[in-house]
Chains A and B, each alone.
Chain A
C-alpha cells in the first residue's frame, strides 16, 4: 500500500478522463446535430430558417474550435472551445505518465498524442483557427470523418478510463 506519485497520476487522470469522455460525447452530439436537418425544402427555402441554420452551424463550430484569438467581427458571445482543452488535458496525461515513469501507459497514449499534434498543426491550411470550419464542415466526407473520429476517441477514453482505474488500484495495492 503506497500512495506513490504514479498512484496520484492515475487518480488525477481518472477524473480528467471522465471529463474527456464528456467532451467527446458533446462532440458526437454536435456532429449529429449538424448532420440532421429537415428534409423539407419548403422550410429550407425560407430565409429566416437559413439564417437560423447558419448561426447554428457557426455556433457549433465555434464551440468545437480551439480558442480564437479575438472574437470575430460581429459576434458578441464569448468563445467557448472544446478542442484545445481536450488536447491539452491529454497532453497533461502523457506528461504525468512520463514523470511517473509509467512507460506502458505512456506508450498507450503516445499514438493519440501524436494524432492530436498532427491534427492541431495540420489544420486546413487557410490560416485561421479552423479546426472545424463552418464552411467546410458540412461536406459529407469531412463530417463523416469527424464523426468517426469522435466515436473512436470515445471508445479509447472509455477503455483507458477502466485501465486507469485498474492501474490505480494496482499501484495502490502493490509496492
Chain B
C-alpha cells in the first residue's frame, strides 16, 4: 500500500512538479498554444516587436515597476520612453542592468535557436553574470520603491515569496483557480530542459519568465530580464517565435494587449482545466471518493470482527486511487494540448484542493465539501500505507468520533492495543487530534452507523493524518503516531481537576493558542499580538455559544509598533465591491480574473493592475501579491481616500500652573523632556506646536516667527473664552524653534511665586478646542487638581469613609457632561486630548485629612472618566485631581495618572513621568483616524471597548491613534455559520501619518468554525477572554454597580465551568473540572477581582479605581495581562539556562512562580513584573552575595528602604539581573518604576497585594475561590 500511495505525490508540490513536465511534454508536440499565459506574454511581445525585443522586454519589466511603485512615483526611463505612457514607473536599475548584462547572455542566446540549448544555457550564464550587478540592483530598487522608506518589509517579502513552500500554499488557498499555475511553476523549476521544449520556441524569453514564475529570488528575476533582452534580440531571428505570436498583440503597450492576451490564455487554460477538465476530472475524483466511501460503507459492518477481510476489501479503493493519478500522470504526450492542460488542471486541483489522493501529505484547508471528502479518502489511503494492518479498519472506524462511550470496549476490540491505551486514559474526550469534528464533519454518519464502537483514537489519527500528513511519511508505526498524537492532541481539552492540581501556572509565559487551521493558513494568519479572538474555534450557532457560556469577542492592538510591515503603494486598492473588504490572504480565487470575498462571498473581478506582482515582477499571479500573502499590510492610500489634504501634525500643550502644580514641580520635568524631544516629535516640515497655561486665567503664548521673545497673552474672561491672536498661537515648529526653546526654558520659573490656587481647566480646554478646530491634532493636558473655576468645574465627590460602601460606584459616572460634550466636539474636529494627571500629595497636609485634594479631585475625575471625553489624557502630576481622565475617552486620547506626584518627595514618580513623556512625545501617531471592523456574514459586532467615538455601528472614529492603544469588541452570531468552515475578521485603520500620508493598515484574522461544544472549549483563548471580561466588567460597574460587576465575573467562571462539566460526562461530580484551555480561567478571574478596579474594601482610592478602569479599557492585551496577573520570578539564582539572546545580551529566563506567599522564601529575592511597576522583594535572610553583587550593599540590614535603581556592578549576577530587568522594560511602551522592597518595609503591602492566590482581608484565596465556584456549580 505504502508504495503506491506515497509514491505518486508525496507532496503537493512534488506532484505538481512532476506533472507539469509531463504537461510540457505533451504540449510540445502539439504546438505552441498550450503555453500558459505568462509565457505567452513575453512571447507575444516579441512577436509584436521583432526588432525591439529588448525594449519590449523592458516594457514587460516595467510593469513591475509600475505595480510596485504606483504610477508617477518613479521617473520614466529613457529606454522605456516608448512605454512611458503606460508604465511611467520604470526601474532605472533595470535598463542599466540590461545594458551591462546583455553581452553575457546575449552570447549565450546567440546560439541558434535550439530551444533546448536555450533552456539550459540561459540559466547558468545569467546567474553568473547577473548576480553581481542585477541582484543588488533589483533588490534595492524594489525595496526602495515599494517600501517608501522601509526596506525591511520588502526584502522580507522577497524571501517570503522565494520560499518554495509558498506556491503550494497559495494553490491550496485558491482551490481551483491556481492549480494550473502552480503546476507550471513546478514545471519550470523542475526541469529546465523539458520546459523549453514544451511550448517555448522563444527560448530566451520563455526561460526567464518561466523562472520568474518559479518565484525565485528577485535577483533571479532581474537576471532573467537581463537575459531576456539579449535573448530576445537573438530570438528575432527565430521563426518559431514569430509563429507563436498569433495571439495578436497588436498594441505595443503591455498593459492593454498583454493582459488581454493573457486573459485569453487564461480563460483557455482555466476554462479548459476548470470547466472541462476540472469539472470532469474533479467530478471524477469526487465521484471516486464517493464510490470509495460507499465501498467503505458496505464493508464497514464487517470490520470489527473480521479485520483482515475488511482490510483487504478496503485496500482496493485506495489502490485504485493511488493508481489513478499515476495513470493520468503517465498519460502519453500524444494528448492534445487541451487535454494536457486539462490534465494539468486536474492534477493540480487534486493536489491543491484535496491532499492528493495518493498521499495525504499536502496540507490544505478543505474549504469545499468535495475537497474534504477527497481529503478523507486520501487520509484513508494514507492510513493504508501504514504498516499496521488493522489501521485501515481503524481508520474507517475513525469516522465515528462520536463513539466515545466505551473506551474499554474499543481497546479490547481494536486490534492495536497501543492505540487503545491513550483513549482509555482519557475518559472525557477521546478525540484523536484536538478537533475531530472540525473537518471530519462529513465523516459520514453512514459510516458511524456502520459502527465500530471503538477507535475514536483512530479517528484522531485520521485527522492527524490530514493535518500533519508529513507524519505519515515517517516510517514510524501507526501506533506510535497515534500515541504521539493522542498525547498532544487532547492537551487543550485534557480535563484538569482544579481543586487537586495546584500547579497549574506554567513556568513559561502563556502563549496565545494557535487556531486549528491548516499549516498554510496558520502561517498566513495575523499575529496574535495584534489581533486575538477569545474563542479560536468559532461556534457554529449562537445556541452553541450560549451553551458554552464564554464571551465571544476580539482584542485588537491595531497600531502596534511592528518591526516588519509590508507597505503597499498601488493606485487601486483591491476591495470587495459590496462589503468593501480589503483583499486578504483568505479570499479564494475562483480563477485568475476573479476572487471571492471571504466576508460576504461576493465574486469580484481582479483589476488589471493586480495581475502584476511587483515582488516577483511576474504577471498573472494575483495570489502572490503581498496583499494576498500577508495578513497584516499597510496601504498608502490614494487621493480618493482624502477630501482635504492630510493634516499636518499639530501638538498643543496645556499646562496647569496653579500653586498646586508649581509646588509639585512637574513643569520643570515636562519642559525639560519637551526640550530634549523637540526634534523627535513625529512630523514633517509642517509640524505645528502651541502652548497654553492656565490657573484661574488662561494664558496664551504668541510664538510668531520674528518676535524677539515669546509673548504671553492673558485672557481672564474665562466665561467667554476667546483667542487673542488666532494666527500666531500655533506656530511652525521649525520656523519658530528658537522661540519655543526660549519659552520652554523660561516656563518653569515663570510661575514660581504664584498664589493662584484655582484651576480653570474647562475654559482652557475650550480655548484649546478653538485653537485646534481648524486642523485637528493632539492636545496634551497636564493637570494637577480639580478644575474649580469656569465651565466644567468639579466638586470632590469621594468621602474616604464611605469607600467601602457601594455608593462609591455612583461616582464612577461623570458629574457633568461638559467634558463629554467637549470631547465629542473635539472628536468631530479630529482633535484628541491626552490627559496627564499628576496627583500631588502636599507634605503639609494634616494627617487628619489624608486626601483633601484627592477627594475633590477624585469626584470630578470620576465624572470625567466615565462620562468625560476621553479625549484628554492628562498626565496627572498632582494629587488626586485626576478626574479629568475621562476626557480622553471619547476623543481617543489616553490618560496617564501619577498619584502623589512630587518632584522631590516622590522621585520615582518623577522619573516615571520623565520616561513616559519621552515615549509619549516620540512614539508614532496617526491623525484623523477611523477604524472599521468587518467580519464574515453571520457574525455581528455589537459593543466596542476602548477610547474612541462610535460613529456608526461598525465604524470607530479616532481623533488620534497611538501605538499603545488597545481595543476590544464583543460579537454575537446572528446567522448560523453552518455553510462555512472558516470565518474571518478584518480591521482596517485609516489614518494620516505624521508625515502627512494617508495610510490604511489592515489586519485579517481567520478562524475555523466548529460545531461541537468540546471544540469550542478546546479553542478558548483564556487571556483574551479575561481581558474582554475585564472590559465588560468595567462597563457593568459604571452602568450598574461594582458588586454587580464582581458577581458577573464570578458567574462567568461558574457558568463556563459548569457548562463544561455537563458536556464532559459525569465523572467526578465532586471535583472541579476544567479543560486545559480553561485551567487558568478561575485564577485570572480571581486576580481580576483583586484588581484596584474591582476590589472592595477601604484601601482603594476612587481615583485609583477609576484610573485602573480606564487602563482596562484602553490597554492592549499584552500589557493588560501583566496588570491583571503579574509575573513573579525568583532572581537570586539566575542562570543562563534557557536564556535567550537579545541584541548581544544574554537574558536569563527564570521560571514563572505562582503568585503566592508560599513561594516566597526568606532566602530568596523575587522580582514581580506588574506592568507599570516592578518590585524586587528581598527576603530577610537573603544570600549576602546577592545583595552585595546585585544591590551593592554589604548585607541585608544596610539596604535602604527606598531603592529604585540597581547599581551597575561588574559581577555576573548583577549583569544577569540587569539584563533581565532591561529586557522586561524593553517589552513595554511605558517604563515601569522599580521598587526594591525589604521584607519589613512598609511598602511591602504594595507588593503583597499582587499575590492574588493568597487570602486578603476581603477576598478569597485561590483555593477558597475554587471551593466557592464549586459550591455555586453544585447549586
Q: Residues of A with Cβ closer than 8 Å to B?
A: 35, 37, 39-42, 44-51, 53-55, 57-58, 72-75, 124-130, 134-136, 138-141, 143-144
Contacts and interface: CB of A to CB of B under 8 A. Distances in A.
Given A44-B955, A47-B643, 7 more contacts: A39-B580, A42-B640, A47-B830, A47-B928, A53-B952, A140-B941, A140-B942
Nearest to A127: B813
B640 A138 contact: no
Given A126-B866, A139-B944, A47 B776 contact: yes
Interface of B: 579-580, 637, 640-644, 647, 766, 776, 791-792, 809-810, 812-818, 820-822, 824-825, 827-830, 863, 866-867, 890, 928, 930, 932, 940-944, 949-955, 957, 988, 990, 998, 1038-1040
B928 A35 contact: no
Given A41-B580, A138-B951, A140-B953, A125 B944 contact: no
Given A73-B821, A125-B1038, A128-B820, A54 B814 contact: no
Contacts of A37: 951-953, 955
A125 B642 contact: no
A54 B827 CA distance: 8
A-B interface, 8 closest residue pairs, ranked by CB to CB distance from nearest: A128-B817, A126-B813, A138-B950, A126-B867, A37-B952, A140-B942, A54-B828, A141-B942
A135 B813 CA distance: 14
Given A138-B950, A140-B942, A45 B990 contact: yes
Nearest to B1041: A125
Contacts of B1040: 125
A35 B953 CA distance: 7
A106 B637 CA distance: 62
Given A46-B644, A47-B776, A125-B810, A72 B818 contact: yes
Given A54-B827, A135-B950, A140 B817 contact: no
A74 B765 CA distance: 12
Given A47-B830, A54-B951, A42 B867 contact: no
Contacts of A72: 817-818, 821
Contacts of A141: 942-943
- Residue of B812, B816, B950 contacting most chain A CB atoms (<10 Å): B950
A129 B950 CA distance: 19
Nearest to A125: B813
Contacts of A125: 809-810, 812-813, 1038-1040
B949 A135 contact: yes
A51 B769 CA distance: 14
Given A37-B955, A51-B828, A125-B812, A45 B642 contact: yes
B939 to A, nearest CB: 12
Contact of B951 (A50, A124, A143, A144): A50
A48 B335 CA distance: 64
B974 to A, nearest CB: 10
B815 A140 contact: no
B829 A51 contact: yes
B791 A73 contact: yes
Given A40-B580, A50-B828, A50-B957, A136 B950 contact: yes
Contacts of B821: 72-75
A41 to B, nearest CB: 6
A50 B942 CA distance: 21
Contact of B949 (A46, A54, A55, A127): A54
A25 to B, nearest CB: 22
A45 to B, nearest CB: 5
A124 B1039 CA distance: 5
A127 B862 CA distance: 11
B814 A128 contact: yes
B858 to A, nearest CB: 15
Contacts of B949: 54, 135
- Residue of B792, B812, B814, B817 contacting most chain A CB atoms (<10 Å): B817
A47 to B, nearest CB: 5
20 contacts: A41-B930, A41-B932, A41-B955, A45-B642, A45-B928, A47-B644, A50-B828, A74-B822, A74-B825, A126-B867, A128-B816, A138-B951, A138-B952, A139-B950, A139-B953, A140-B940, A140-B941, A140-B942, A140-B943, A141-B943
Nearest to A130: B817
B940 A54 contact: no
Contacts of A51: 828-829
- Residue of A39, A126, A134 contacting most chain B CB atoms (<10 Å): A126
A154 B828 CA distance: 34
Contacts of B950: 135-136, 138-139
- Residue of A37, A57, A73, A139 contacting most chain B CB atoms (<10 Å): A73
A49 B890 CA distance: 18
A135 B890 contact: yes
B337 to A, nearest CB: 45
Nearest to B928: A47
Contact of B824 (A40, A46, A134, A144): A134
Contact of A127 (B766, B863, B955, B998): B863
Contacts of A46: 642-644
B822 A73 contact: yes
A140 B580 CA distance: 20
Contacts of A75: 821
Nearest to A46: B643
A128 B868 CA distance: 11
A128 B816 CA distance: 6
A50 B813 CA distance: 27
Nearest to A52: B828
A93 B1139 CA distance: 77
B999 to A, nearest CB: 11
Contacts of B815: 127
A58 B824 contact: yes
- Residue of A39, A47, A49, A74 contacting most chain B CB atoms (<10 Å): A47
B930 A57 contact: no
A8 to B, nearest CB: 42
Contacts of B647: 47
Contacts of B951: 37, 44, 50, 53-54, 57, 138
A127 B815 CA distance: 6
Nearest to B579: A39
Contacts of B957: 50, 54
A122 B226 CA distance: 75
A51 B294 CA distance: 64
Contacts of A50: 828, 830, 928, 930, 951, 957
A74 B828 CA distance: 13
A138 B824 CA distance: 13
A135 B952 contact: no
B1225 to A, nearest CB: 35
Contacts of B816: 127-128
B580 A138 contact: no
Contacts of A124: 813, 1038-1039
Contact of A48 (B640, B644, B822, B955): B644
Contacts of A54: 824, 827-828, 949, 951, 957
Contacts of A41: 580, 641, 930, 932, 955, 988, 990
A46 to B, nearest CB: 4
A56 to B, nearest CB: 10
A54 B998 CA distance: 22
Contacts of A49: 643
A35 B809 CA distance: 32
Contacts of B813: 124-127
Given A50-B828, A72-B817, A128-B814, A139 B643 contact: no
Nearest to A75: B821
B117 to A, nearest CB: 54
Contacts of B867: 126-128, 130
Contacts of A143: 953
Contacts of A127: 813-817, 863, 867
A126 B828 contact: no
Contacts of A35: 953
Nearest to A43: B643
A72 B1038 CA distance: 23
